[in-house]
Amino acid sequence: MTRIDDRIRRVDAAEKARGEAVYLCDVKMEGMLNARFVRSTIARGMIDSIEVPQLPDGYWFISARDIPEGGRNSLVMIAGDWRCFADGDVRYVGETIGVLVGPSPAVLKALEKEIRITYTEREPAITIDDAIAVKGGPILEKDDVHCSLVSEKGENVEDVLARADEIFEETIETGFQEHVHLETNAAICCIEDGKYTFYISCQCPFYVRKSVAGLLGLQPSDIRVKQTTTGGAFGGKEHFPDVLAGPLLVAESVIRKPIRLVFDREEDMLYSVKRHPSKIVFRTGLDKDGNLLGSDIDVYYNCGAYLSSSYVVLQRGVFHANGVYDFPSTRIHGYGMATNTFPSDAFRGFGAPQTLFAIETHLDHIAAKFGFDPVEYKRRYFLKQGDETVTQGHVVEKVVLEEMLDQVARKSDYWRKTKEYARGGGRGIGMSFYNHGGAFTGNGEQSIIKAHLKLVKDGDRFTILCGQTEMGQGFRTILRKIVASVLEIDMDDVVYDNPDTDCVPDSGPTAASRSTMVVGRLAEEAAMQMKERLDEEHVEIETEYRHPDGHPWDQSTFKGDAYLGYGWGCACVEVEVDRLTNEVKVVGIWSSHDIGKAIDELIVHGQVNGGIIQSLGYASMEKMENRNGHFRQTSMSDYVVPTSMDFPRQEWGLVDNPYEWGPFGAKGMGELVFNGADAAYIDALERALDVTINRIPMPVEDIEGVRHD
């Protein structure tokens, strides 16, 4: 019998370690063809001509012309502006113009080089500043602003700033980040039982069918999507698989044989979505003693050429822009800027990490200016239960930041070290605080998703049917553990396979830290109902999402409770900096999180470790540059992510704070653990070198510049 507190083995561990798990690249089908994208080589311009050479027998070139009448050249990824195939003009380097299909990857590669595309180029806008200046003329109808919103609380912020003794102004910037899931993006499209069918490495199978159906004038239910074992995603396989699936579907409608598309690493690096670069401008009013009066914050995200899901990313950024602090007054303007870069998209944290990094760093700088210990300064403003949020809603849950701070400070010996390490002494300790709103923003779980889950009993076997995917985070194990624990049976008697959209109900995307919190709850409820009917041979129970009472939200004004509940975090990082070379050695990492209640400590441990290392990579070594629309880092040797040698073993802890609406009290946590180690690292680095840092990443060569500022 499995209990929720048992230490268990992940259900997929052994098959993966044995090399038996079947990822997309391992799937073979009779007569399967390969595909290769033909892409734009310029960032912005008109396509004058496309010359395709005489193709050998059995090879095809598919483009916008092959979209049938009644079909729409659009991929629906919240917004529907991202085109399946560029048609007439191109808006970013790597935009799909066509797809070559045929048996041999080598021949496809050679053919790609023979296709001649001529363009009339226009000056591209690449950076946020380019977009603000509308460089090269507007990308959109009148300017380069895809989307914008404003959030306010307290007094009118201009009045507050007018009476402040001091206005602290600064700009903080963050860079691109590439997901580098070890398995690259990959999909197969074929026809099974007369139905278009995808095998695909993805987070959200229902998103795929919804996104691409319109290309052929079909309904989503006309398309079947089967998720294959997914080798990491981190948001990079939330919407982006649609960009592979669309052209494959159009090709399939013409060719009608299984077609496989597997990106190699270079393609995945150069031609996939990234984390939104950001520029965040603060004007913060302070009294003469350094007390916070209010802050006017402009948040700019580089969304790239298409809006796709970026408005939602921006909203999350804006709603997290005051961090875990109760600003007396604030006004946050968010702007999603259109540029001619590869569209930015979901990446663990979904817009929150940028503003959280900025607010932490900004407060560190204010504290340093007034001579406060940054932690002492920040804790004065910690949000508490009942406090007003930036969307004029309230913090509903108990906030345990003080307990987390206490846990981390004790383990790291923070209070001693912060006093003993002289600023500029080569050694530094830094701390950050952060949160993450669980699940969809506002009432999206109710109004947009309305998740469903089925639990089926056949004799002694229980099968969970839902659309949530395992991508490495451990959800296949978590969900089986929840159901088994409620039913007081062994996990081995619970079945939960990779979803197939023809067999499972739509439980919403595997994203937004919502799987355990929302879908896990549906499973818990289903299992509780099932428990009453264990004497029956065959039982089917379907549960449907119900929005908890007392969380008002107005989607038209963005006012109310932006999230049902938050995960909370505290991270501490200690560094030693080599004065000769600027190499930063991290000597300690400590963290504490409130995730409600951990469903499985070992899985949570893995998420904490991995999220923190990704965040430290983001702050330090992960530099992705774009010149004229081309990413300069093309491989895993020039876009480097952390190895086992880069960071030391972490100490981690949790503060239990059960969440009423989550299964066994659990809240979301997958993104939370990414949201703060970056700021703690930069805080430590600033203290070690006595410098001010206003941007990440900060590799050794950029530290050199900061040292001379």
Partner 1 sequence: MIEFTLNGRSVRFEGNPLTRLIDVIRDDLGLTGTKEGCGEGECGACSVLRNGKLVTSCIIPVGSVAGDEIVTIEGLRDTDQGRCLVDAFAEAGAVQCGFCIPGMVMAAQALLLTNSHPDEEDVRMAISGNICRCTGYDLIVDAVLLASRKGEGLW
Partner 2 sequence: MVERCYVPKSLEEALSIRKETGAHPLAGGSDLMVQYKQGLGITPVFPFPVMIISSLDDLKGIETLEDGSILIRALSTPAEIASFEGMPYPVRCAASRMGAVALRNTATIGGNLGNASPKGDLPQPLILLDATVVLKSQDGEREMKVDDFILGSKKTALADDEIIYAVRIPRVEYTHVYYRKIGTRRANAISKLSLSALARVEDGVVVDFRAASGAAGPKVIRSHETEDILKGHGVDEMDSLMPAVLEGWNNAISPHAMPEYRRATTRRMLEHFLSSIAAHQEGGIIE
- Among partner 2, partner 1, none, what does residue 583 contact (CB within 5–8 Å per kind)? partner 2
Judged by CB under 8 A, the stretch of 86-94, 311-319, 538-546, 580-588 that binds partner 2 is: 580-588
Nearest distance, CB of residue 248 and partner 2, angstroms: 16
Nearest distance, CB of residue 262 and partner 1, angstroms: 9
Which CB atom, from 178 or from 296, has the smaller least distance to partner 1? 178
Q: What is the DSSP string of 171-240?
A: EEEE--B----SSPPEEEEEEETTEEEEEE--S-HHHHHHHHGGGGT--GGGEEEEE-B----TTTTTST
Exposure of 328 by Cβ count < 10 A (0-12 exposed, 13-18 middle, 19+ buried)? middle
- Among partner 1, partner 2, none, what does residue 587 contact (CB within 5–8 Å per kind)? none
Measured CA to CA in angstroms, residue 431 lies from 411, 569, 681 at distances of 13, 11, 8
Nearest distance, CB of residue 591 and partner 1, angstroms: 11
- Among partner 1, partner 2, none, what does residue 621 contact (CB within 5–8 Å per kind)? partner 2
How is residue 25 written in tokens?
A: 């690249």
CA 424 – CA 411 distance, rounded (Å): 24
Which CB atom, from 3 or from 28, has the smaller least distance to partner 1? 28
CA 665 – CA 4 distance, rounded (Å): 11
Which CB atom, from 186 or from 352, has the smaller least distance to partner 2? 186
State which of positions 642-671 bind partner 2 (CB under 8 A): 642-646
Which CB atom, from 173 or from 267, has the smaller least distance to partner 2? 267
8 A C-beta contact, residue 395 and residue 566: yes
Angle separating helix axes 520-531 and 475-487, nearest 10 degrees: 20
Which CB atom, from 25 or from 52, has the smaller least distance to partner 1? 25
Which CB atom, from 49 or from 644, has the smaller least distance to partner 2? 644
Percent helix, strand and coil across the chain, each to the nearest 5: 30, 25, 45
**Residue 576 makes contact with partner 2 by CB under 8 A:** no
- Among partner 2, partner 1, none, what does residue 22 contact (CB within 5–8 Å per kind)? partner 1
Nearest distance, CB of residue 210 and partner 1, angstroms: 25
Nearest distance, CB of residue 701 and partner 2, angstroms: 4
Which CB atom, from 523 or from 612, has the smaller least distance to partner 2? 612
Angle separating helix axes 677-689 and 700-708, nearest 10 degrees: 50
Query: What is the separation of C-alpha 127 from the centre of its chain, rounded to a whole number of angstroms?
Result: 21
Which CB atom, from 458 or from 583, has the smaller least distance to partner 2? 583
How does strand 75-77 pair with strand 427-437? unpaired
Q: What angle do CA 103, 109, 110 make, to 5 degrees?
A: 100
Which CB atom, from 5 or from 266, has the smaller least distance to partner 2? 266
| Residue of 105, 232, 290, 424 that binds partner 2 (CB under 8 A) | 105
- Among partner 2, partner 1, none, what does residue 610 contact (CB within 5–8 Å per kind)? partner 1
The answer for residues whose C-beta is within 8 angstroms of residue 605's C-beta and 6 or more apart is 652
Q: What angle do CA 429, 431, 434 make, to 5 degrees?
A: 165
**Residue 109 makes contact with partner 2 by CB under 8 A:** yes
Nearest distance, CB of residue 36 and partner 1, angstroms: 15
8 A C-beta contact, residue 454 and residue 504: yes
| Residue of 185, 341, 501, 582 that binds partner 2 (CB under 8 A) | 582
**Residue 637 makes contact with partner 2 by CB under 8 A:** yes
**Residue 699 makes contact with partner 2 by CB under 8 A:** yes
Query: Running DSSP on this structure, what letter comes out for residue 672?
Result: G
Chain contacts with partner 1 (rule: CB under 8 A): 9-10, 12-14, 16-23, 25-26, 179-184, 229-234, 264-266, 471-474, 602-603, 605-606, 608-614, 635-637, 641-645, 647, 649-650
Residue 113: CB atoms within 10 A of its CB come to 8
- Among partner 1, partner 2, none, what does residue 281 contact (CB within 5–8 Å per kind)? none
Nearest distance, CB of residue 204 and partner 1, angstroms: 16
Question: x/- string (CB under 8 A) for partner 2, residues 157-196?
Answer: ---------------------------x------------
**Residue 17 makes contact with partner 2 by CB under 8 A:** no
SS3 415: helix
Nearest distance, CB of residue 270 and partner 2, angstroms: 12
CA 67 – CA 464 distance, rounded (Å): 37
Measured CA to CA in angstroms, residue 275 lies from 202, 209, 261, 272, 302 at distances of 17, 24, 23, 10, 9
Q: What is the DSSP string of 317-328?
A: HHHTTTTTB--S
Judged by CB under 8 A, the stretch of 132-140, 211-219, 521-529, 636-644 that binds partner 2 is: 636-644
Q: Which helix (H) or strand (E) holds 432?
A: strand 427-437
The answer for residues whose C-beta is within 8 angstroms of residue 117's C-beta and 6 or more apart is 38, 40, 41, 47, 49, 50, 51, 97
How is residue 299 written in tokens?
A: 């948040």
**Residue 447 makes contact with partner 2 by CB under 8 A:** no
- Among partner 1, partner 2, none, what does residue 231 contact (CB within 5–8 Å per kind)? partner 1
- Among partner 1, partner 2, none, what does residue 582 contact (CB within 5–8 Å per kind)? partner 2
8 A C-beta contact, residue 231 and residue 19: no
- Among partner 1, partner 2, none, what does residue 612 contact (CB within 5–8 Å per kind)? partner 1
**Residue 106 makes contact with partner 2 by CB under 8 A:** yes
CA 574 – CA 173 distance, rounded (Å): 23
Beta-bridge partner residues of 652: 591
Query: Running DSSP on this structure, what letter comes out for residue 447?
Result: I
Which CB atom, from 165 or from 638, has the smaller least distance to partner 2? 638
Which CB atom, from 248 or from 471, has the smaller least distance to partner 1? 471
State which of positions 249-268 bind partner 2 (CB under 8 A): 262-264, 266-267
Judged by CB under 8 A, the stretch of 101-109, 498-506, 546-554, 650-658 that binds partner 2 is: 101-109
**Residue 28 makes contact with partner 2 by CB under 8 A:** no
Which CB atom, from 21 or from 50, has the smaller least distance to partner 1? 21
Beta-bridge partner residues of 197: 190, 224
Nearest distance, CB of residue 642 and partner 2, angstroms: 7
Q: Which residues bind partner 2 (CB under 8 A)?
A: 25, 34, 105-106, 109, 184, 262-264, 266-267, 579-583, 585, 621, 637-638, 640, 642-646, 699-701, 704-705, 708
